[in-house]
Amino acid sequence: MIDRQSRREISRRLGEAVNQLATDLYSDIVDGVSAIQEAEISSRLCQRLEDKLDGMQAGEYTFRVVAQSVPDRGPRSMEKLLGADIFLSVSLDGPDGFDKGIFIQAKYDRNIDQSELADAVAKMQKTAGRRGSYVWIYTPNGVKVFSAKQIEDMNDKFFGGQKSRSIEGFSGRVLDCFAGSRDWGIAASDPDRRRAVAARLREARAANIVDLQLRKTHKL
């Protein structure tokens, strides 16, 4: 099990980075048009996470981050085949480590079609199960996270009053092994990480991938 301090620091740094970048990229509607669309937020968010977190230390670990996006945004794009905007890969170094993948559907808080969202989550679950399927909602103050089960349990009152998780809380669940599919992890031992990330992006059929390696930097 990851030590408490490292868990806290990793979750905090990831939460702060995602929320800051999402807040910066969030675009209000002006004259009926949003300057930055959801797809662009997701793509730029992944790329900027690499710039911001790569090489940063958190507790006993150091972030190594790789981000890639699919250039095809046409009607036959990979995202439309599966419904995932982001594929999040997380690898934790050490004897208690893991390699996991998570499929994420991302939406503006003002642009949610309940039926479409439920359909996208159902598609993701067929591939990665409940633990590997999540929804991120972009808001002016950061990102709200909902699980696949919460989306399944939606009623006529959107989200049925269910409470969202923060990115920090979501990160903690990943580290505690309550979230993520081990079937979709990228092996930490792969010598060519960028090649492996590119291959997994094609396999996942998502629009973007952000790969987080948490490498042990100090021995306990």
Q: Domain range holding 51?
A: 4-216
Compute the average pLDDT of residues 148-163.
76
pLDDT of residue 50: 97
Higher-confidence residue: 76 or 99?
99
Compute CA distances 66 → 8, 102, 105, whole Å: 22, 15, 19
Look at residue 219 in the predicted model and tell me its pLDDT: 53
Which pLDDT belongs to residue 154?
A: 78
Single out the residue of 204, 192, 3, 12 nearest to residue 92, CA to CA: 3
**H/E segment holding residue 100:** strand 98-108
Q: Are the C-beta atoms of 30 and 154 separated by less than 8 Å?
A: no
pLDDT one-digit tens code per residue, 205-217: 899 999 999 999 8
The number of distinct structural domains making up the chain is 1
**Cβ atoms of residues 93 and 125 within 8 Å:** no
Lowest mean per-residue pLDDT among 17-21, 124-128, 135-139, 190-194: 190-194
pLDDT band at residue 138 using 50, 70 and 90 as cut-offs: very high
Residue 120's identity, in one-letter code, is A
**146-155 mean pLDDT:** 88
Global model pTM greater than 0.95: no
Q: Is 131 helix (H, G, I), strand (E, B) or coil?
A: coil
**Res 24 pLDDT > 70:** yes
